[in-house]
Amino acid sequence: MIDNFLRPPRGLSEVVADTLRGLGALSVILAAVFFELTDAGVIAFTLPGLVAPRFIGIKPWPDIMLSVTLLVAAWSSVLDLYTRITWWDLVVHFFCVGVLAVGCYLFLARLRIVPTPFTSGFTSPGGVILTTTFGLALGSLWEMVEWLGYAYITSDIYVTYEDTISDMATGGLGALGMGFAVAYLPLLHTAHPTSASAPPMSEGKSRLNRQRSTDRDSDPGSSSSMVCRVSPEKDLLD
């Protein structure tokens, strides 16, 4: 994964993805200067999620989608959009939990804890179910963090029973929808719709050549076998 992180961007889409990561770091500074330190902390909380796709080796378009979603979620908190727009909180939870669940699955796939998409051992239903499960777990963790912030940092954080349940349910639906992306779309740079157990073509050709050589040596009618049988007779005549 270190090689993925150190690899220079290739193409415009990867440059855009890296630019969004830089924008995330800049957002922390802007929030600290023009807003409050708690707002800067909220945006800083997204930085691991912005950098993780680089380590995992996620393709540019899901990388961009994840980064944009995290930045929108963080700035929505700074700009108080969650209280100004009643339905905005649910929209953000749907997409944010969904993309984070995908990132969680792909990260665990890189660690070989879960099957990598489009390799042996991976199934589409399994990808959908695991991604949904990760989303529900992340949604629960999200609500716990909100409660901790409300209880020990600031009472401005909106926390109610109805809000918690609706947020978790909406996030789970988002993870369910994004699970189909894990199941059917190539999200990793190395993902391809072939079995990981299939030997490379060059290795297959090498095995075939060795087998043909063995067959020729064991064939009584082959030229090498004839040489072995004729040579003793020639020595006797000499």
Phi, psi of 35 (to 5 degrees): -125, -140
Q: Band the pLDDT of 214: cuts 50, 70, 90.
A: low
Hey, what are 123's tokens?
């199934």
* DSSP code at position 198: S
State the number of CA atoms in the 13 A half-sphere of 186 facing the CB.
8
For 5, 36, 149, 213, the CA distances from 154, given in Å and listed in that order, are 36, 12, 6, 77
Listed residue (203, 183, 166) closest to 128, CA to CA: 183
Instruction: Quick: pLDDT tens for 54-94.
Output: 999 999 999 999 999 999 999 999 999 988 998 999 999 99
- Residue with tokens 């030997």, as numbered in its chain: 199
First to last CA, the chain: 70
Per-residue model confidence (pLDDT) at position 89 = 92
Per the CB < 8 A criterion, the answer to whether 197 and 118 are in contact is no
Q: Which residue has the higher pLDDT, 1 or 142?
A: 142
Is it the case that residue 164 has pLDDT exceeding 70?
A: yes
Give yes or no for a contact between 120 and 195, defined as CB atoms under 8 angstroms apart.
Answer: yes
The answer to whether 180 touches 64, Cβ cutoff 8 Å, is no
Question: What mean pLDDT comes out for the span 154-160?
Answer: 75
Q: Give pTM, 2 decimals.
A: 0.76
Q: Between residues 212 and 79, which one has the greater pLDDT?
A: 79
Burial status of residue 75 (CB atoms within 10 A of its CB: 0-12, 13-18, 19 or more):
middle
Residue 210: pLDDT over 90? no
Whether the pLDDT of residue 31 is over 70: the answer is yes
